[in-house]
Each structure stands twice: as C-alpha cells, then as structure tokens.
Amino acid sequence: MSQIPPLNGLRAFDVTGRHLNFRSAADEMGVTQGAVAQQVRQLEAHLGIPLFERLPKGLAFTPSGRSYHARVATAFEELRAATETLRPKPGKVLVSVTPTFAAKWLIPNLPDFSGAHPEIDLQILATEKVSSFHGDGIDVAIRQGQPPFGAALDAFRLFRQEIIAVAAPSLIAGHRLPLAPESLSHLPKLHDTHDLWPAFLKKLKIEDHGGHGLRLSQTALTLDAALSGQGVALVSSFLARRDIAANHLVQITPETLAGERDFYLLAMRGSKRSSSTQAVVEWFASKAEPDA
C-alpha cells in the first residue's frame, strides 16, 4: 500500500487532466482551486516528476503525465463501474426468456409495457440456458416446464402449450381450408429441436411425403421460414397469433397437439420482489391466456 500515491491526489490529477484547468477541476470536485492545485503538487512530489506544465492560460501534460493520466483515468472508471454494479437501480428489471419467446411474443408486446410502465427499465436476457436468479441477477424468467419449480419461487402459468400447424397463404394457394390430411402429407415440413412432427402426423394418421424439409435450431427460425413460404411449421398457438391475425400465416388444420410443458413466469417469492418486479409480474399476468 505504501507504493500507492494518495487517492485524493490521484482523483485531483484525474479530474484536472480531463479539464487541463485547475478552476474547472475545482468546480467539478466542489473544492477550491487552491486545494486542487495543492493536491496535484503533492502527487508530483510523491512521484518525483512533474505531471503538468503550468502555462499562462492553463495546463499541458508532460509526456510522463499524459501516459500516467491515461492509466489513472482507466482505473477510476473501473472503480466507478464496479461500484455501480453494487448499487440497486430503482426501476431496473432483468427478464430471462428464450430467444423464440423474446422475438415472437415479448418484443412485439413491449410497446404496451412501455406505455403502461415508462418508469421501469426492462432489460431482456434472451438465452436457451437456465438462468440463475442469484448468479445471473435476473428478476423474472419465462420458461417452458412443469411444476414444481422450487420452494423459493412463485410460478404463474401464462400460456398452455397448444401446438398448431401454420403456413404462409402462398404455400397453400389453390387448397381449400381446412387442409385435407393427404394434402398436408405432401407439403414440405419445417423442423426444430422439439421434433413434434412425428406425433402430429400420427394424430392425423398420415405419413410424411413432403421430403426432408428444413431443419432449424429454434422455433423462431421455423416461424420465419414459414412466413417466407418455405414450409409448414408446428408452433405454440400464442406465438403465431399475431401473424395469423395479420393474415401472414394461416392455421391449415383444426387439429392441435397438447404439450406437457406449458409456459410459466417464475419470480422470487412475493416478499422478496421489488415494486418494479411486482409490476412486471402483474403485467405478464394480465397478458396470460384466460384459462391459464
């Protein structure tokens, strides 16, 4: 510790170096011009080298002072950033969601949230991995699964996993709706990691004659591919609702596939939630399906 210069002197040097003027540095620090100049002189004496050239109309760095200031300024910025992470930010709520939920439901609904809660800084962490409330600092998570989720968490079901088959109107041009099972059999299929087509085709008692189809890593990508007319996608009905309403997609058959993993909102127990987090929870709950 004896090798570290006085912190008051370093702070005075940092601020003075940004302004190259003792008076401006004093105004920022809330002290007198003489106090800043004295702290800088004491730092120079401690180091044994001049850091500034005193000019009639201000200051200029010495070569050593310029290089030293660059590193001192970086160190103070790191200290400010480290301290900022410790301070709770009123109104900041971090929500962990899957990329598909973020792209196809949350982002389209964000204007409604911002209008209702302009004071809340909603931050979105889109990831497939299971986030930790403590390790990742999240406040709310939206995940597919089955309860129980843990004694420390409240769980609210938002949407049931009801799988429907959708396609772009251009793909089924010339076909009457609902599409006959045999017609669906010959259409190209879009596959994601959930691999729901075998169960869906089995329910309709048909085989797939649509070729290999396109295989994608996320449901959001299969929806995008369906929108561009590249095939039929199997998706949770609530994710396709907006595109169906806009006639960008069509549900081509009335049959649905019920999944076992519904969509839940997870949050720490009510007593441990901030008022901003509680507002986010209530907003999500207001968007839940009536029977959820």
Prediction pTM value:
0.67
Reply yes or no on whether the pLDDT at 202 is more than 80: yes
Rounded Cα distance, 159 and 140, in Å: 16
Which pLDDT score, from 0 to 100, does residue 81 have? 85
Confidence of residue 1 (pLDDT cuts 50, 70, 90): very low
Q: Give the model confidence (pLDDT) of 209-252 as tens digits.
A: 988 889 999 999 999 999 999 999 999 999 999 999 999 999 99
The answer to whether residues 36 and 15 touch, using CB atoms and an 8 Å cutoff, is: yes
Q: pLDDT (tens digit, 9 = 90+) per residue, 77-125? A: 999 888 877 766 668 899 999 999 999 999 999 999 999 999 999 999 9
d(CA 196, CA 149): 24
Q: What is the pLDDT of residues 176-190, one digit of tens each?
A: 999 999 999 999 999
Q: What is the pLDDT of residues 216-227, one digit of tens each?
A: 999 999 999 999
Phi/psi of residue 130, nearest 5 degrees: -75, 115
Which superfamily does CATH assign the domain made up of 162-258 to? Answer: Periplasmic binding protein-like II (3.40.190.10)
Confidence of residue 15 (pLDDT cuts 50, 70, 90): very high
Give yes or no for residue 193 having a pLDDT over 70. Answer: yes
127-181, pLDDT tens digit by residue? 888 777 877 889 999 999 888 888 888 999 999 999 999 999 999 998 999 999 9
- pLDDT given at position 89: 61
Q: Say if residues 222 and 191 touch (Cβ distance below 8 Å).
A: yes
How many angstroms separate the Cα of 92 from the Cα of each of 29, 87, 287? 29, 11, 21
- Phi (first) and psi of residue 2, to 5 degrees: -65, -20
162-258: same fold as 7-86? Answer: no
Q: How far apart are CA 264 and CA 276, in angstroms?
A: 19
Residue identified by tokens 């598909």 is 100
Helix 219-227, helix 237-245: angle, nearest 10? 20
DSSP string computed for 127-184: -SSPPPTTTS--SEEEEEE-S---TTEEEEEEE--EEEEEE-TTTTTTPPSSPPHHHH
CATH number of 7-86: 1.10.10.10
Per-domain boundaries in the chain? 7-86, 92-160+261-286, 162-258
User: Which CATH number is 92-160+261-286's, of 3.40.190.10, 2.60.40.10, 3.40.50.720, 3.40.50.11750?
Assistant: 3.40.190.10
